[in-house]
Amino acid sequence: MDTLCRLYFLTDTVLGFGALRELSPAMRAAGISRPFLVADRGIAAAGLTDRIVEAMDTPPVATFLDTPANPTKAACEAAARAYVENEADGVVAVGGGSPIDLAKAVLVLATHDGAFESYDAVAGGTALIDGTRLPPLIAVPTTAGTGSEVGQSAVISVPGERKYILRHPGLKPRTAISDPDLTLSLPRAMTVGSGMDAMTHCIEGFLSPRPNPPAEAVALDGLRRIWNHLERAAADGDDREARWHLLMGSAEGGMAMTNGLGAVHAMSHAAGGLHDLNLHHGTLNAVFLPSVLRFNIGANSVDLTPLAEATGCPDAEAFIAAIEARNQRLGIPAGIAEMGVTRDRVPSLARAAKADFTDATNARPTSEGDYLRLFEAQFA
């Protein structure tokens, strides 16, 4: 075969109960002696930042907790200023995708000149990032969803504009410390939303038109784990076995999505840009997933059979119906109208989705008109 494949599985990951004890060795290996800690106030209130500091040989020179649910340009710039002012030499990010994505932005903004927008991957900003200047990052996920702990991208919101993407191989964390014990206190709603986010990463990573057999295999394994354990964790947050499998599935989803995502994420990024509503990304993915899958199978080249088999479903339509049934059991809204989105916003959402970088790797070519119809169907 003469097909060119690109494989991006480079983050060292320590996953399992007790993994947190590997934090200090990982910091030493990365050369971090003046750590800058990034988290959010919810994580601090849950006592998780205290646990992280206790696991460090060297306490942080500064801690940034003002991470919004959807990290913003302003928050990233404030954190980068604190990083520089405190003469930090590396970042430890604790939490879900928001703190980890914000930490990735800090790596760029603290070491590069120029406007934040100039580093947007959609506009070719990746070429402006000098990987040799990026300080080391260690990620400690406390949710099982975004997969940002093994990814090279960060999604950052700019109020009044679309979401911006920072993307560079140097933004991958040097090490991911994935301890399921840190997820046991995760609220049910966050367990559900983040789990559906990870599941969508597996599905869209598998369906990407880019050839990448390892990503496809990882995606199917991650899908099985999440499918079999998400409802268990939602019912019992202290189910250690379920939490372990969800964290592994999240990491696998993060690896799979290096192969590209698709229209589900394009629509979620668009709706997530409605800053007045502050909608949860993973929940949006769950809401859009069934309708996008039905749209995708309208193309003869799109085959959901392996995904259906991985979840014990007899065929593609049964697989989509099973996702809808699961959404209902988990309390996922039936559509974005229930989340406060009004119909008058549909045209701008369709434009934003078509402009999103994930549109390019949807399983089926998608036009702005297709997005318009997909968003309109949310109000049927």
Buried b (16+ CB within 10 A) or exposed e, 321-359: ebbbebbeebebbebbeebebeeebbeebbebbbebbbb
Question: What angle in degrees, to the nearest 10, is found between the helix axes of 188-207 and 213-235?
Answer: 160
pTM of the model: 0.91
pLDDT of residue 4: 52
Could you read off the pLDDT of 267-317 as tens digits, one per residue?
Answer: 999 998 887 888 999 999 999 999 999 999 998 889 999 999 999 999 999
User: Could you give the domains of the chain?
Assistant: 12-183 (3.40.50.1970), 188-379 (1.20.1090.10)
Q: Specify the higher pLDDT residue, 6 or 99.
A: 99
The Cα–Cα gap between 82 and 1 comes to 50
The Cα–Cα gap between 9 and 168 comes to 13
Query: Token pair for residue 229?
Result: 């354990």
pLDDT of residue 37: 98
The Cα–Cα gap between 258 and 260 comes to 5
pLDDT of residue 352: 92
The count of other CB atoms within 10 Å of the CB of residue 364 is 18
Q: Are the CB atoms for 260 and 216 separated by under 8 Å?
A: no
The count of other CB atoms within 10 Å of the CB of residue 102 is 28
- Could you tell me the pLDDT band of residue 11, with boundaries at 50, 70 and 90? confident
Spatial CB neighbours of 268, under 8 Å, sequence gap ≥ 6: 281, 284, 285, 288
pLDDT of residue 108: 97
Q: Specify the higher pLDDT residue, 145 or 84.
A: 84
The Cα–Cα gap between 248 and 141 comes to 11
Question: What angle in degrees, to the nearest 10, is found between the helix axes of 368-376 and 346-355?
Answer: 140
pLDDT of residue 1: 40
- Could you tell me the pLDDT band of residue 8, with boundaries at 50, 70 and 90? low
Query: Token pair for residue 158?
Result: 């700019």
The count of other CB atoms within 10 Å of the CB of residue 117 is 13
DSSP symbol at 374: H
Residue type, 42: G
Could you read off the pLDDT of 312-368 as tens digits, one per residue?
Answer: 999 999 999 999 999 999 999 999 999 999 999 999 999 999 998 899 999 999 999
Q: What is the mean pLDDT of residues 221-237?
A: 96
pLDDT of residue 10: 65
pLDDT of residue 274: 87
259: pLDDT strictly greater than 80 = yes
How confident is the prediction for the chain on average, in pLDDT? 93
